[in-house]
Amino acid sequence: MPGKDAGEPQAGCLRSSNMKRKILIVILGLIVLSQIPFAYRRYRLRRLRNAIQQLAAQRVPPAAENEYTDYKGVIHVHSSLGGHSTGTFAELIAAAKANQLDFVIMTEHPQAEFDTAAMTLNGTHAGVLFINGNEVASADGDRLLLIPGNTDPAFLNARKTQDIIKEQKADGGLAFITYPAESRNWQSTAASGVEVYNLFTNARQINPVVMFFDGLWSYRSYPDLMFANFFTRPNENLKLWDEAITSHRTFVAIAGNDAHSNVGLSLNDASGQQWLGVKLDPYERSFRVVRTHMLIKKTETLTRETLLAALSQGHCYVSFDIFADPSGFSFDAENLVTVEYPHATMGDWLPSFGQTRLVAKAPLNCRFVLYRDGIEIDQKAGTAVEFLATRPGRYRVEAYLDMLPSPASGKPWIISNPIYLEPILTWTPAKSARNPSKQAS
The reply on whether position 332 binds Zn ion by CB under 5 A is no
* Residue with Cβ nearer Zn ion (196 or 324): 196
DSSP state of 159: S
User: Which spans in 205-269 are helix H?
Assistant: 208-218, 226-230, 235-247
Binding segment toward Zn ion, per CB under 5 A, in 21-29, 43-51, 217-225, 254-262:
254-262
Query: Which amino acid is located at 90 in the chain?
Result: A
Which positions from 127 through 166 interact with Zn ion, judged by CB under 5 A? 135
Binding segment toward Zn ion, per CB under 5 A, in 67-75, 161-169, 257-265, 315-323:
257-265
CA distance 366 to 381: 6
CB of 76 to Zn ion, least distance (A): 6
Binding segment toward Zn ion, per CB under 5 A, in 23-31, 252-260, 308-316, 349-357:
252-260
Query: Which amino acid is located at 212 in the chain?
Result: F
Residue at shortest CB range from Zn ion:
258
CB of 106 to Zn ion, least distance (A): 11
CA distance 363 to 123: 31
* Residue with Cβ nearer Zn ion (134 or 250): 134
The reply on whether position 284 binds Zn ion by CB under 5 A is no
Q: What angle do CA 368, 312, 316 make, to 5 degrees?
A: 25
The reply on whether position 258 binds Zn ion by CB under 5 A is yes
Applying CB under 5 A, the site for Zn ion has a residue count of 2
CA distance 403 to 314: 29
CA distance 419 to 317: 12
Q: What angle do CA 351, 355, 356 make, to 5 degrees?
A: 60
* Residue with Cβ nearer Zn ion (131 or 370): 131
* Residue with Cβ nearer Zn ion (138 or 306): 138
* Residue with Cβ nearer Zn ion (258 or 284): 258
CB of 58 to Zn ion, least distance (A): 36
DSSP state of 52: H
Q: What angle do CA 78, 435, 337 make, to 5 degrees?
A: 125
* Residue with Cβ nearer Zn ion (41 or 78): 78
Residues that bind Zn ion (CB under 5 A): 135, 258
